[in-house]
Structure 1
């Protein structure tokens, strides 16, 4: 994943910030931390499926569905870090880890997601360039609200109320888009991705329908995948939703583009753990290869730097971040621009 920031001139503000961060050793690998993290998450994954098998065909298995939704999201965070080369120095090692966590463990095409996420990092919250703004079910700009037809415009008026319920479908959306990407004609050959993703589908569905009755199996899948999508969506939603949206072709420099379009979530070690370090979104966007465990230390340096240089540094509580995102969606849905604008 090519998410390294552009080379900055020696006298640029970003170059000075980079020098500070590098001098503090915050870009150095934390392999030991990640080995521990991978091992613990792997044990939780195995424990979840072991409990699933032991409980068997009982409604109590829905507790396991919720637990596995949590573990799937934690695995997704590790795949995210591998995609940014935070874990190993070797690109191949990060890629293999990403395939195992993404394609095999949770059924997400790692290669497709990396391509999409790379474009997001290059153009965060940029109209027409950031794929995270191109979600048909939601409108993030007045242009989108006015250009998708009258029925869609009517739905957008109430999109703030639908936002969290729609996140229950995020897991399904990721699976569907992953399969589409691997089956797309003319796409980059991804044999191993296809094999591992198919193995996940066969193993997941085989285990669920082999052990549970058809009705319980369907309910288990709906609960597990729904909560997985909700947790994942709630982890990513605070990062940019409701922040500045840049116009297509905007030429804002790298430092300002990343800081002004990102929002941090204030918290403590539990917030860091539950959000996979994504609560330090500003620092992550400025230094995408920085190991997750270093982001908290980088935060104080970056915030102080931004204050000195007159850059708005947005940091708020978790629930306030959701409120800001919902207010933005409500405002956009209520004031669409004329079609064709």
Structure 2
């Protein structure tokens, strides 16, 4: 997760967007509402959407019908907490302004291998209540032509097919909605009768507690792993019996049990195992994948060695129990009351679970 970067950084990043080095973004880098597009990006974004495929949820009337409409293109991926926290705004805008000429289009550009599976993405969109059109961008063809550089990415396209604003990251949704209303008015659709009511996400889609967020995302695959504390360090691509560290400091982690750490994720190879992380945030999430046999894998979450009680997340109960059923992001903790440094431990009941990345909010 990246927070509070200057717009100058965004400009530099977009210059280099021919490469697909992507980041999950926290608070917005900035909203540009000038009649420009990012350097290196297509000046004909609707032509790109005309040839994009496959569509998981089709544009009614086909992509050609987007011409003459105000379009928001949102780059997202379903296991990214930053993408998930943007969904309440996109869904609300689609509902508020859909009959005034606005179309929201999701471009699902996967971060992890399991997100390449269209069936899993379709399941996720159903569970998340995403009903607007979505295209699967597994090879990043649309991403590269837009010169996008992170999740979530937002591109505001006017009725003449020009990119009139863009933003990388969460935040400034009021500015985004005002730009939508301006573009609709320019196209001859008067949105003034539609109230600008507040939008608030619930559950896993609730806005982050930015004031108390001091933990960045932390990957468990060796490709991006850092601050690992188990004695002996990470061993790549081999099954190893790991032991818990004597202690974990803020934003460090360890493993217990037999694990095989690959480039993208760590897989539990033993009968039981645990992951421990010291964090400072209201919410703690972990992207998890299920076992090859498809059966649920039970897990238990503890906070500082005790059941989480009222601080349990959406995917665990007050005693900390939960199950891995689908490959997705799981909310383990949502703290109540004052926020401090806490240690979350996740214990798994049988082998096969895959652990990808911790994220916080």
Q: TM-score, normalised by structure 2?
A: 0.24
- Higher percent of residues as strand: 2
- Higher percent of residues as helix: 1
Higher relative contact order (CA 8 A, sep 6+): 1
Q: TM-score, normalised by structure 1?
A: 0.25
